Chain A
Amino acid sequence: GQNIDQPTEMTATEGAIVQINCTYQTSGFNGLFWYQQHAGEAPTFLSYNVLDGLEEKGRFSSFLSRSKGYSYLLLKELQMKDSASYLCAVRGTKAGNTGKLIFGQGTTLQVKP
């Protein structure tokens, strides 16, 4: 089967660093995406990993280990506006197919003052 696991909820303090983990088991692997979703809104693209290692983009970084089926999203210098759900999604088919994504259940992050 195909499975993506994330913690359901996390709480962190403004200005701190938080790491949101994601583990996956899918048939084939062709990329892992992180999206941010504020309540009542559509997801917005944050990052993409297809090779092992760390991708840094401003305050956000994402890491991938394909051998371990593991990724994390690292948020630095947390701001109140970072309170949102963070979705881990894996593209489980090879390029050239439809490229559909399999989403985890999302991690709701609450940033407190």
Chain B
Amino acid sequence: GAVVSQHPSRVICKSGTSVKIECRSLDFQATTMFWYRQFPKQSLMLMATSNEGSKATYEQGVEKDKFLINHASLTLSTLTVTSAHPEDSSFYICSAKRQGSTDTQYFGPGTRLTVL
């Protein structure tokens, strides 16, 4: 298999609070994980690339101080949305790259964030 879990699956928070989302590769090690966000009826937008043991690489337009990424082990990456606002409400999805001949990315089940 190639199973990626994500926690929590759904979170509702008040504006101004911080939310942490965990992404775990359960049956393989992933030196690289990716964080995406997806608005309704739109495709996935890459936010950042998470590298184990080093700083994340953020896509243009993504605030690194607002979306904190930590990839502390080969099976865990976390995304913290700091001082969340209603416009941060979205579906956040992580993926983990399984190294091999194809380096396929396998996706977690996603986290639905609603900021009130």
Interface of A toward B, CB cutoff 8 Å: 31, 33, 35, 40-45, 48, 50, 87, 91, 95, 98-106, 108
The 6 closest A-B pairs by CB, nearest first: A42-B107, A42-B110, A105-B43, A98-B49, A103-B43, A103-B44
Given A31-B102, A87-B44, output 18 extra A-B contacts at Cβ < 8 Å. A33-B104, A41-B109, A42-B108, A42-B110, A43-B93, A45-B105, A87-B43, A91-B103, A99-B97, A99-B103, A100-B34, A100-B46, A100-B49, A101-B105, A102-B46, A103-B44, A105-B42, A106-B42
- Residue numbers in B under 8 Å from A43 (CB-CB): 44, 93, 107
Which A residues lie within 8 Å of B78 (CB)? Answer: none
Q: From residue A33, how far is it (CB to closest CB) to chain B in Å?
A: 7
Known: A42-B93, A105-B43. A95 touches B103 (CB 8 A): yes
CB distance from A110 to the nearest CB of B (A): 13
Q: How far is the CB of A91 from chain B (nearest CB, A)?
A: 8
- Given known pairs A100-B49, A101-B46, the reply for A48 and B102 (CB within 8 Å) is yes
**Chain B 1-38: CB-based contact to A (< 8 A → 1; otherwise 0):** 01000100000000000000000000000001010000
- Alpha-carbon distance between A42 and B110 when the two chains are bound, in angstroms: 6
CB distance from A56 to the nearest CB of B (A): 16
Q: How far is the CA of A28 from the CA of B104 in the complex (A)?
A: 17
Q: How far is the CA of A106 from the CA of B49 in the complex (A)?
A: 21
